[in-house]
Structure 1
Amino acid sequence: MTTSEFHANPDNFCYRHPGRQSFVLCQRCMRTICPECQTQAAVGVICPECMAEQRRNESPAQRRARRSWGSRSMTAVGGRPLVTYWILGITTAIGLLQFLPGLGPLITDALQFWAGYLYPPLSGQPFEPWRMLTVVLVHGGFIHLGLNMLALWMIGQSLEPLIGRAKFLTLYLVSALGGSVAMALIAPGTPTVGASGAIFGLFAALIVIGRHLGANVTGMIIVLAINLVAGFAMGFNIAWEAHVGGIVVGGLIGFILTRTSRRANARFWWIGLTTALTLVLLAVVAIVPPILITAGH
């Protein structure tokens, strides 16, 4: 970031740290704040100044409740994307084990996804539906792993503190499920590995939420589009079906978040609608016409 860039568009930089670009707004003063300055609150994230003012205005009963229950919250505390770090650590560790001679192929075979594992009578494979999620743990090489983990780290820094740990993890897993469902529908005979479906889901949700908050998301949309078409333009062997599935599901979850966050019973609506979306995905993949299952192996 240069001085000229900041003066040209200061609204896209943290008001407390002008050298840090961000698209997240404090929900009380509507100023831009970076992940370090974000604190989760009932209305979304707020900046340190607004948090200090809020606590000064608390009643004695509110202070006791915050001390009693604040440490048990499932949302991100102090802007630390702990779920992002855990996913990064676990996925990277398994990815590195894939490079070990002899062990790597065993790990890949145990965790990769192929639609045949959902339809044993047609494929002769055991019924292993959990592979729709374990696919995010294995990758096709060091570059594949590195690019996905870099994207996860970059998106998680902003998105996890914004929506909270539990919702971020749910978004990641359901987006991964969406990617696997798309693979089963569009390319049922193709085995796949990688967290790309989940990553694209995070990206789509960030765009939807950013747009809802009034941020300029044009740049993010362009980056998403470039990544989506890169596999075709550069001839990479990329499972674009999983990317599309992740984008659709992640965008839907982002939409659910923006529409339920201000309701009095927001948690009920969030859990209910996200559960319904998950059940729809499972139902769709369960009724795939058998003719789509090709002899991929």
Structure 2
Amino acid sequence: MRETAKAMPGRKTIFGGAVRTGRPVVTLTMMAICAVAFALDWAIPGGFVFQNFAYAPFTTATEPWRMITSAFLHSTNITHIAFNMYALWILGNALEPAFGRARFLSIYLVSAFAGSVGVLLLSPVDTVVVGASGAVFGLFGALFVVQKKRGGDLRQIVVLLLINAALGFFIPNIAWQAHLGGLIAGSLCAVAVAYAPARNRNAVQWGAMAAIVLVLVGLTLYKVSTFPAFLIG
């Protein structure tokens, strides 16, 4: 019999999300979207998917949705998507049940957005990026916060973070700027969720994450304001 995710009425995770049994639905959905986008990029000629949904800083003012859509695309090198999906599967299985679907999805998407903001702030204007690694690094940061909150062993997470961060500096065509942006935002969101006081917990959690998004939007608007007029359109 297929195992399906079911809510358990009245029961909450330690971070306030609804307790659900079954598979991590949000994690699987994100993986499925990435897989479909990867297949479409191969199937549709002329690089249509890449040309319309990848992100580069110069597209920010006229096509801001690319700051999110690029996180669901990957290069045609199978190892790129394979590594990110493996990491997402591992991290999602650990974090989605702990945070609950809504909080987990929010942290993932905010981290993806922050990865693009990192590229916007720290990369040349014509740098083109795709990949879920900004969001994945956000989940790494979130896992560190969760382990810290629970009093768990942090050494393995720190080693993994350092190794993956180092790869961005030594292997060409890896956007360490996206990794940094995602890591910072994911960690901050997780702090808001994990350390919110029991009283008014939902308001504090969602308010703090909304504030993080507003800061990212503000940084985006500021950087765009410095662009030459021909890039703003």
In which range does the TM-score fall when normalised by the shorter chain?
0.7 to 0.9
Per-residue Cα deviation, 1:178-213 (whole angstroms, up to 9, x for no partner): 100111111132111111100000111111111111
TM value normalised by structure 1: 0.69
Answer with 1 or 2: which has the greater Rg.
1
**Contact 2:108/2:139, CA 8 A, preserved across alignment:** yes
**Contact 2:60/2:67, CA 8 A, preserved across alignment:** no
Residue in 2 aligned with 1:111? 53
Runs of 5+ unmatched residues, structure 1: 1-35, 46-72, 120-126
What does residue range 14-53 of structure 1 map to in structure 2 within 5 Å?
41-42=11-12, 44=14
Say which structure is richer in helix.
2
**Contact 1:114/1:190, CA 8 A, preserved across alignment:** yes
1:182 has 2:118 as partner: yes
Residue in 2 aligned with 1:18? none
1:290 has 2:226 as partner: yes
Residue in 2 aligned with 1:138? 73
Mapped to 2, the partners of 1:294 and 1:219 lie a distance apart of: 47
Residue in 1 aligned with 2:163? 226
Per-residue Cα deviation, 1:204-224 (whole angstroms, up to 9, x for no partner): 111111111100011011011
Structure showing greater relative contact order (alpha-carbon pairs closer than 8 Å, 6 or more residues apart):
2
**Contact 2:129/2:175, CA 8 A, preserved across alignment:** yes
1:92 has 2:25 as partner: no
262, 265, 279: which one pairs with 2:200?
265
Quick one: which amino acid aligns to residue 57 of structure 2?
Answer: A
Task: Count residues in correspondence.
Answer: 221
Per-residue Cα deviation, 1:141-190 (whole angstroms, up to 9, x for no partner): 21111100010001001100001000000000000011001111111321
Per-residue Cα deviation, 1:83-134 (whole angstroms, up to 9, x for no partner): 001111111111122223615x101111111111223xxxxxxx11111110
TM value normalised by structure 2: 0.87
How has the CA–CA distance of structure 1 residues 214 and 100 changed in structure 2, closer, same or farther, with 3 Å as cutoff?
A: same
200, 209, 212: which one pairs with 2:146?
209
**Contact 1:175/1:245, CA 8 A, preserved across alignment:** yes
**Contact 2:41/2:50, CA 8 A, preserved across alignment:** yes
Helix, strand or coil at the partner of 1:80: coil
Mapped to 1, the partners of 2:230 and 2:140 lie a distance apart of: 31
Mapped to 2, the partners of 1:128 and 1:267 lie a distance apart of: 32
